[in-house]
Amino acid sequence: MSGTVGERLPSQTVVPASQHGGLKKMPPYWYPYTTMAKERWLGREILEIVSTEFRDRSMEYYRYALESGVTTINGKVAKPDTIVRNGDRIENVVHRHEPPVTAKPVKIIHHDKDRDFLVINKPGSIPVHASGRYYRHSLVELLRNEFGFEKVYTINRLDRLTSGLMIIPLNADLARSLTDEFMKGSVRKEYIARCKGEFPEEEVICEEPLLTVDRQMGLNIVHPEGKPAKTVFNRLRYDANTDTSVLRCRPFTGRSHQIRVHLQYLGHPIVNDPVYSEERIWGPNLGKNGIDVEPNSERFPPTAPEHLKTDDSPESLATVPKPGGNSNGGTDNTNEVPQGVKLLPRETGHDIGMGSPVPLSTEAVDIITRLRNMKDEDEDWSRWRDVVFRAKGALMPKSFRRAPPLPSPNKRKRGGRSILEPIAADDNESSGQGVSPGDLTSTAVAAALGENQSTSPVQVSFHDNTVLSEAVAQLTLHEAASRLTSLVVPEPATDPTGTLYCPECYLPLHPDPKPEKLHIFLHAFRYELSLGRFETEMPNWAKEGWEWER
């Protein structure tokens, strides 16, 4: 049966997460992944694509990473100006620093072994699927690694910050059948929310259309060009001590952030929603009755906070030193601007709206800008402090080389995980038993060696015959598996300014979030469908008179 727990091969073993102060934390690790070129990427340079799709690192860092050779297209090393074409297979190696999630466990409410499905209660802060910086902290991977369910089908999704009930088939046939039920709207869903203010006692129906206007930030607004959406709200109680209301919410459609945006539009956003209930983003009106949607093409370059303003910003490729330093290992401080240099969308501010299906208004652009700035501030402006790598060598996972170039297009495997192969100083002596970077942290492996750490150089070969040498260790697969429980990640390094950064990928580090900031007061409480009626316990924050730290 698909839902049974099977033995895991040593190469599939993962370094376990640890728990600290209500958070579950994963050591950073190298991870190779593969994707096929998306339609919106075609005909664009890879640096422009990477810098507009992702915002975790600075513009200069993305150029540096590409020039280090960590990305290949169809098996050949990609450079920053490589153009992406239709049918391209893009492979990338990243050093993942997964954000912490809540230490509250995923609860299995019901496991129907005969009909082959699960009913679970997902804590807030855990994304359903791997996306962005999340992989092993996603629900799918947690069910796989902590519960042993090798194949699950997530037919209904909850936002990362939303907690509550999910129905998860364990075979494809049931998944198709239940997907059809959700698509037809025959599944009855009921959520619980705590919103700002005194919500009306009578039933309120909101049918405003919703539109996703920024893919990076996941921002949705009420817009006449949006998709139809309908939510019915009923007040359960009003708590005068906190000036908040507990609601029953019944969505009849399944749009992204539907309940959150509809409540914001009604003037009663979810009280602790970090996006739709934040004055720093929306102003004192908090988006009540929607925003202006009159298109405006004017954009402005992003600006650093006052304490980080410099003529040498890592967010501008036209004025920064060349990555990698000079031949003496120092930094090349000549800030020459090449003649005819082309500024990328992220440098001019035109990346805002690139993912929107409609032209954005000035108000929408301002909201997205403030949302981005707030996220940067919450992460201690790490993008603007992202300069340590300038004095370092090329970025590359240690002890690994890429698999051979791809076969002809009609014989390629589409999508899936990339593969890196271990490489020793002498290929003839290599046993091929190295540790997969997708399964063990390279920093942890090196630390586990202690006094036995090898100092023989290991070469990393690119397909263009470029070779990087690094004095690193290599464990056999069996050695690594036997040491999993004792692996320790090295302490972060510090630059001369006191900034903590990762010693492998040079990511500026910032403090962990507080556990109470990792969820919102929105909970999937009850589902009724062909399999039956299922519900969870009422969340603590829905209790009468409940108070919390604000």
Q: What pLDDT does residue 339 have?
A: 59
The confidence band for 443, taking pLDDT boundaries of 50, 70 and 90, is: very low
Question: What are the structure tokens assigned to 195, written together?
Answer: 């919103």
pLDDT at 445: 30
What is the model's pLDDT at position 172? 96
What is the structure's pLDDT at 406?
Answer: 55
Tokens of 504: 């492998």
pLDDT at 168: 96
Partnered with residue 270 across adjacent β-strands are 195
> What pLDDT score was predicted for residue 409?
54
Count CB neighbours of 459 within 10 A. Answer: 15
Share of the chain above pLDDT 90, in %: 53
The pLDDT value recorded for residue 405 is: 56
Pairing of strands 23-25, 71-73: unpaired
Contact assessment for residue 301 and residue 315, using Cβ atoms and an 8 Å cutoff? no
153 confidence band (pLDDT: 50, 70, 90): very high
Q: Is the pLDDT confidence value at 456 over 50? A: no
Does residue 453 have a pLDDT over 80? no
Most confident of 130-134, 282-286, 338-342, 472-476: 282-286
Average pLDDT over residues 450-454: 32
In contact, 246 and 236? CB cutoff 8 Å: yes
Q: Which residues share a beta bridge with 222?
A: 210
User: Does the pLDDT at position 321 exceed 70?
Assistant: no
pLDDT (mean) for 290-314: 88
Q: In what order do the strands lie in the sheet with 71-73?
A: 29-36, 89-96, 71-73, 76-77
The band of 114, judged by pLDDT with boundaries at 50, 70 and 90, is very high
Q: Going by C-beta distance under 8 Å and a sequence separation of 6 or more, which residues neighbour residue 500?
A: 492, 493, 494, 508, 509
Query: Which pLDDT score, from 0 to 100, does residue 434 have?
Result: 33
**Two tokens, residue 512:** 């962990």
What pLDDT band is residue 383 in, cutting at 50, 70 and 90? confident
CA distance 284 to 60: 36
Helix runs in 256-297, H state only: 258-265, 279-282
Query: Does residue 90 register a pLDDT over 80?
Result: yes
Among 102-106, 173-177, 220-224, 304-308, which stretch is predicted with the lowest mean pLDDT? 304-308
Angle subtended at Cα 165 by Cα 160 and Cα 170, rounded to the nearest 5 degrees? 95
Q: Which of 255-269, 405-419, 497-511 has the highest mean pLDDT?
A: 255-269
- Cβ atoms < 10 Å from Cβ of 532: 12
Query: In angstroms, how far is the first alpha carbon of the chain from the final one?
Result: 47
Question: Rounded mean pLDDT of the chain?
Answer: 80
Name the least confident of 235-239, 264-268, 320-324, 386-390: 320-324
pLDDT score, position 33 = 80
Q: Residue 271 pLDDT > 50, yes or no?
A: yes
Mean pLDDT score, 202-222: 95
d(CA 303, CA 363): 18
Highest mean pLDDT among 433-437, 472-476, 542-546: 542-546
How many angstroms separate the Cα of 119 from the Cα of each of 115, 152, 336, 414, 533? 12, 12, 59, 31, 11
Average pLDDT of the segment spanning 317-335 = 46
Do 33 and 417 contact (CB within 8 A), yes or no?
A: yes
**Is the pLDDT at 129 greater than 90, yes or no?**
yes
Q: Answer with the residue of higher pLDDT: 340 or 92.
A: 92
Residue indicated by tokens 């316990």:
537
The pLDDT, as a whole number, for residue 159 is: 93
Give the residue-averaged pLDDT of 158-164.
Answer: 95
| Contact (CB, 8 A) for 475 and 483 | yes
pLDDT of residue 412: 53
φ/ψ of 189, rounded to 5, equals -120, 140
SS3 call for 139: helix
Per-residue pLDDT of 463-498, as tens digits, reads 333 333 333 334 444 444 444 444 445 677 777 767
% of the chain at pLDDT higher than 70: 75
Distance CA 141, CA 131 (A): 12
Give the mean pLDDT of 521-531.
97
Q: How far apart are CA 23 and CA 102, in angstroms?
A: 5
The predicted pLDDT at position 441 comes to 35
Q: Of 127, 122, 106, 118, whose CA–CA distance to 167 is shortest? A: 118
pLDDT surpassing 80 at residue 313: yes
- Mean local confidence (pLDDT), 499-519: 88
The residue among 212 and 430 whose pLDDT is bigger is 212
Length of the chain: 550
pLDDT at 240: 95
pLDDT at position 201: 97
**Is the per-residue pLDDT at 13 higher than 60?**
no
CA-based R_g, the chain, Å: 25
Who contacts 306 (Cβ-Cβ below 8 Å, separation ≥6)?
none
Q: What residue type is assigned to position 113 of the chain?
A: K
- Using pLDDT thresholds of 50, 70 and 90, give the confidence band for residue 458: very low
The pLDDT of residue 466 is: 37
Residue 408: phi and psi, rounded to 5, are: -60, 155
Helices (H), 121-194: 139-145, 172-184
Question: CB-based contacts of 419: which residues, under 8 Å, 6+ apart?
Answer: 32, 403
**Higher pLDDT pick, 402 / 528:** 528
Instruction: State the sign of the Cα–Cα–Cα–Cα dihedral 538, 544, 549, 550.
Output: positive
Tens of pLDDT, residue by residue over 18-30, are: 777 789 998 998 8
**What pLDDT is stored for residue 335 in this prediction?**
45
Contacts of the segment 333-336: beta carbons below 8 A, 24+ positions apart: 335/311
Question: What's the pLDDT score for residue 171?
Answer: 96
Whose CA is closest to 445, among 432, 435, 455?
A: 435
Kindly list the catalytic residues: 159
pLDDT of res. 326: 39
